[in-house]
């Protein structure tokens, strides 16, 4: 397995693995590789009171941050010569990739060249941020917003690998001297508006400090809801064409 150390803050400098610009003829040279960009985003459209499962709550989101410590490409088959990775079936990119995903556009995590072939899956790992200057310090996921205008914070510190497989017959997992783009999509609307196990109208401000805290540390008595939110978010992650 090939291990590469990358930082989300220095991806633009990783010229060994980053493709040439679109204006550069060398970007389309038949060299046995193709360009692959991986981006991520979160989507959420709040429902009005009475429209969904949480009939008593109007939820507004202002932030959704995650920390990926690793992104791994797993190949089903590599075609021809592999000039970069010596035929490795698994290619790991070491982060951290700490990003704010509640954005109008998808946030690019990495842009590299991969050997021609067929990708079987992309795997990425959540883990706690080790950056003491970050809002995600000691957390792997953090969501902020309001529930009926009352501020709330959901966070979790879980460490887990998520595998997203390419569907049979899908062209977006085929690398062939071309440019490819994949978006990791977090469908928060499906989590907060349509998931029976996640009802934020049940969240309470147990310590009365004016902020509803939903976390495994259970500051306000919402630990079970924090676990339900973590599981629901994991279930609503998909790969989309860029």
pLDDT digits (tens, 9 = 90+) for 111-152: 988 888 888 889 999 999 999 999 999 999 999 999 989 999
Q: Running DSSP on this structure, what letter comes out for residue 86?
A: T
pLDDT at 104 (0 to 100): 84
Residue 12 pLDDT > 50: no
Give pLDDT tens digits for 41-84: 999 988 764 455 554 578 999 999 999 999 999 988 777 665 55
Percent of the chain clearing pLDDT 90 (strictly above): 47
- With beta carbons less than 8 A apart as the criterion, state whether 47 and 58 touch: yes
Read off the pLDDT of each residue in 206-210 and give the average, rounded to a whole number. Answer: 95
What b/e sequence results for 183-202 when a residue is b if at least 16 CB atoms lie within 10 Å of its CB, and e otherwise? bbbbbbbbbbbebeebbbee
Single pTM value for the model = 0.80
pLDDT-derived band of residue 107, with 50, 70 and 90 as boundaries?
very high
Going from the C-alpha of 20 to that of each of 34, 106, 204, the distances in angstroms are 11, 21, 52
Would you state the torsion angle of the CA atoms of residues 71, 120, 112, 41, taken in this order, to the nearest 10 degrees? Answer: -60
Token readout for 49 is: 């009171």
The backbone region for 28, taken as left when phi is positive above 0, alpha when psi lies in -120 to 50, beta otherwise, is alpha
Least confident segment among 44-48, 170-174, 175-179: 170-174
pLDDT-derived band of residue 2, with 50, 70 and 90 as boundaries?
very low
pLDDT at 126 (0 to 100): 94
pLDDT at 109 (0 to 100): 92
Q: Running DSSP on this structure, what letter comes out for residue 24?
A: -
What b/e sequence results for 37-71 when a residue is b if at least 16 CB atoms lie within 10 Å of its CB, and e otherwise? bbbbbbbbebbeeeebebeebbbebeebbbbbbbb
- Which helix (DSSP H) or strand (DSSP E) does residue 229 occupy? helix 223-235
Token readout for 57 is: 């709550």
Which residues share a beta bridge with 160? 126
pLDDT-derived band of residue 188, with 50, 70 and 90 as boundaries?
very high
pLDDT at 157 (0 to 100): 95
């Amino acid at each position: 397995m090939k291990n590469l150390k990358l930082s989300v803050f220095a991806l633009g400098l990783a010229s060994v693995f980053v493709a040439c610009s679109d204006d550069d003829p060398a970007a389309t040279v038949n060299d046995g590789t193709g360009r692959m960009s991986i981006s991520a985003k979160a989507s959420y459209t709040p429902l009005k009171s009475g429209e969904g499962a949480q009939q008593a709550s109007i939820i507004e989101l202002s932030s959704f941050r995650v920390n990926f410590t690793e992104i791994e490409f797993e190949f089903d088959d590599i075609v021809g010569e592999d000039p970069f990775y010596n035929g490795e079936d698994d290619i790991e990119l070491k982060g951290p990739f700490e990003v704010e995903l509640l954005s109008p556009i998808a946030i690019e995590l990495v842009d590299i060249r991969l050997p021609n072939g067929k990708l079987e899956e992309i795997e990425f790992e959540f883990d706690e941020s080790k950056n003491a200057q970050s809002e995600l310090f000691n957390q792997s996921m953090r969501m902020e917003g309001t529930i009926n205008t009352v501020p709330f914070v959901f966070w979790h510190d879980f460490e887990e690998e998520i595998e997203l497989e390419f569907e049979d017959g899908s062209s977006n997992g085929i690398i062939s001297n071309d440019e490819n783009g994949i978006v990791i999509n977090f469908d928060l609307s499906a989590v907060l508006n349509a998931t029976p196990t996640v009802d934020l109208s049940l969240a309470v401000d147990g310590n009365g400090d004016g902020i509803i805290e939903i976390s495994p540390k259970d500051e306000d008595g919402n630990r079970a809801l924090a676990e339900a939110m973590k599981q629901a978010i994991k279930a609503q992650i998909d790969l989309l064409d860029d």
